[in-house]
Structure 1
Amino acid sequence: MRQQLDGLGLDYEFFKATDASRGELAGVSRYDEAQALWKLGHPLSPGELGCFASHYRLWQLCASSGEPLVIMEDDISITPEFVQAFAHTGALIAQYHLIRLCGLVQRKRKRIRELGNGHQLIRYLKGPFGTQCYALSPQGARALLAHSQVWIDAVDMVLDAFWTHGLACYAIVPYHIRHDEPGVTPASLIGNSRFEQRRSLARRLRRKLTRMGDHLQRDWFNLWHRD
């Protein structure tokens, strides 16, 4: 990772990830297992909690420093063209606040503007999953922090739930970040298969109703949002 970033000529700093299995959630975790069980029908895994805590700490840093950040996970490959997308991000982040620079699945999108060098700013109508790389403004960080007083879902699902925190799901495409383990199921999807057989009928019905509510709110946001 260090070699890739040095080759791009970008300034960077590494931050140690939070390891929930080593008790590193103390002082940062806002996890409510009862609410997670109510909404999802299963608890978050230690890996999901550690990932959430790691990103949460960087949101805190972004908000307190007053400077935008590009947040990258370390299991990625970066192509040289990323420098162009990075430059576009710097010019746009104060206006759009949260810009995805990687996504794990293809989603329906709306083209917002042409950026040059073959890049476009788009807005996803449904979240693309993943937290491999995204840019965040201090205002965007404060919105995410305000929405994350209680943790009940995986962090990429929080980013994708734009109708809850008000940060529309913008992205600069094409992506120049590749997840090093293509085909791996996003963390936010694990629960759907891992716990499906363990859920009671009541929990499965409640989960279905919750998702229906989310879909309605997402569609309403997309209908009325002005780009």
Structure 2
Amino acid sequence: MHSLIIHMPGDTKRASNVATLRDTLPNAQIVDAVIGKDVMATGGCAPIAGSLYRPSYPFPLSPGEVGCFLSHRACWQKIVAQDWEWALIVEDDLSVDPTLWPDALHLIADHMTPDHFIRLPAKHREAAAATVAQFGEARLFLPRVPGLQTVAQVVGRAAAARLLASTETIDRPVDTFLQMHWIHGQTIHTILPNGASELTDALGGSTIQKKSGPHSKLERELKRAVYRAQVSAHRQHM
């Protein structure tokens, strides 16, 4: 298995963790993160404001979110171009627990195919529609609704091609788009527990920042709740 670590060039705060990941993950290499504001400034990406699919995404995309999406697309393109069966894609704030991580890797080795997309989330927030397999403490399952965040996932070659074809234009963050299995046609599986955690705060905070006052924060939370309810109506099934 190959591993791709998304990392912003020149980010010294995360350099030490990236070095650890390169030593820990199988056949690891760095993929330079895309700087969203630069791509948008030069016209290299013109995202649509949340209106491409239903439900509409209620917030404008930030440059950081654009860069994150394009960074993941770059990894999908690499998987297809290299003709790999699949690859592990991680962000540079990932940390792995050596006692749990091997169980997750065992499930991946046994069940991953080029058609699969398997999430390795840091947060345990997904309810299972069906369990596929278990090894040790790790359980591979089909979530009713795929969770958010993209700290780690294994993406097959056919899955990558499928996602590339459906993201030539983007209108929402990559993790919210991945939830929309009824749009991109890719089944999303999850492994939990998996040993993955995020070191975001310890490494200087998120690279995708959105600041807002108390009133706008409340408005955002209300809009977010409505949007999530609409997404939750589209559940995955065996």
Is the TM value for this pair above 0.5?
yes
Give the Cα separation in 1 of the matches to 2:216 and 2:183: 29
- The one-character-per-residue Cα deviations of 1:40-59 (angstroms, maximum 9, x if unpaired) are 34320011011011011111
Which whole-Å deviations, capped at 9, do the CAs of 1:15-60 have from their partners, x for residues lacking one?
Answer: 1111123347758535224737x93343200110110110111111
Larger mean CA deviation between 95-104 and 135-144 belongs to: 95-104
Counterpart position of 1:85: 104
Which of these residues, 91, 114, 117, is aligned with residue 73 of structure 1?
91
Q: Cα deviations across residues 50-102 of structure 1 (Å, max 9, x unaligned)? A: 10110111111112222111000001211113233223213322165100011
Richer in strand (by share): 2
Instruction: Give 1:194 deviation, angstroms.
Output: 7.5
Confirm or deny that 1:61 pairs with 2:78. yes
Contact 1:96 1:170 in 2 (8 A): no
User: Which residue is equivalent to 2:164?
Assistant: 145
Please give the per-residue CA displacement for 1:137-164, whole angstroms capped at 9, x wherever unaligned: 0110011112112100000111122222
- Contact 1:112-1:123 at 8 Å conserved across structures: yes
Seen in structure 2, the aligned counterparts of structure 1 residues 211 and 88 have a Cα distance that, compared at 3 Å, is closer
Higher normalized helix content (fraction of residues)? 1
CA distance in 2, matches of 1:19, 1:27: 13
Using the size of structure 1 for normalisation, the TM-score is 0.76
Contact 1:28 1:53 in 2 (8 A): no
Where structure 2 has 5 or more consecutive residues not aligned to the other structure, the ranges are 1-16
Kindly tell me the number of residue pairs found equivalent between the two proteins: 214
Aligned residue for 1:112, secondary structure, equals: strand
Q: Does 1:21 align with 2:40?
A: no
Extract unaligned runs of 5+ from structure 1: none
Aligned-residue sequence identity (percent) comes to 21
Task: Give the aligned partner of residue 8 of structure 1.
Answer: 24
Q: Superposed, which structure 2 residues align to 1:1-227 within 5 Å?
A: 1-5=17-21, 7-8=23-24, 10-23=26-39, 29=45, 31-33=47-49, 35=51, 39-67=56-84, 68-80=86-98, 81-94=100-113, 97-104=116-123, 106-181=125-200, 197=216, 214-216=231-233, 218-219=234-235, 222=236, 225-226=237-238
CA RMSD of aligned residues (A): 3.7
Task: Report the Cα distance in structure 2 between the residues aligned to 1:103 and 1:138, rounded to whole angstroms.
Answer: 24
Q: Distance in 2 between matches of 1:55 and 1:25?
A: 20
Q: Conserved in 2, the CA contact under 8 Å of 1:18 and 1:54?
A: yes
Taking the aligned partners of 2:43 and 2:74, their CA distance within structure 1 comes to: 11
Change (3 A) 1:14 1:65: same
The answer to whether the 8 Å contact 1:77/1:180 transfers is yes
